[in-house]
Amino acid sequence: MSETADRVKKIVVEHLGVEADKVTEDASFIDDLGADSLDIVELVMAFEEEFGVEIPDDAAEKITTVKDAITYIDEHKG
């Protein structure tokens, strides 16, 4: 597992209060992890803080799974 994946999963566990083993790369924030649209806004903010990336709203809308987040961050972090 990549370092990015580890840090993303840690943030998801902390923010959504879900068990770590449920946060698989295929997990959907809304369908599998009980998030609502505002939770995703908050998660995206936390990713921006953690990785020093900017995630514009149109990109954020496309992040629906844990893997989407990891991929976006790996492609954009400095």
Partner 1 sequence: MRRVVVTGLGLVTPLGADVETSWNNIIAAKSGAGPITRFDASNQKCRIACEVKPADHEYGFDASKRVDHKIQRQVDPFIVYGIDAAGQAIEDAGLTEMSEEERLRAGCSIGAGIGGLPGIESESIVLHEKGPGRVSPHFVHGRLINLISGQVSIKYGLMGPNHAVVTACSTGAHSIGDAARMIALDDADVMLAGGAEGAICPLGIAGFAQARALSTAFNDTPEKASRPYDKDRDGFVMGEGAGVVVLEEYEHAKARGAKIYAEVIGYGLSGDAYHVTAPHPEGSGAFRSMQMAVKKSGLDLSDIDYINAHGTSTPLGDELELGAVRRLFGNNIANLSMSSTKSAIGHLLGGAGAVESIFCILALRDQIVPPTLNLDNPSEGCAGVDLVPHTAKKRQVRAVLNNSFGFGGTNASLVMKAV
Half-sphere exposure of 76 (CA within 13 A, CB side): 17
Q: Which candidate in 6, 31, 32, 36 is catalytic?
A: 36
**Of 4-12, 24-32, 38-46, 64-72, which part binds partner 1 (CB under 8 A)?**
38-46
- Nearer to partner 1 by Cβ, of 1 and 38: the residue is 38
Per-residue contact track with partner 1, 40 to 69, x per CB under 8 A? -xx--x---x--------------------
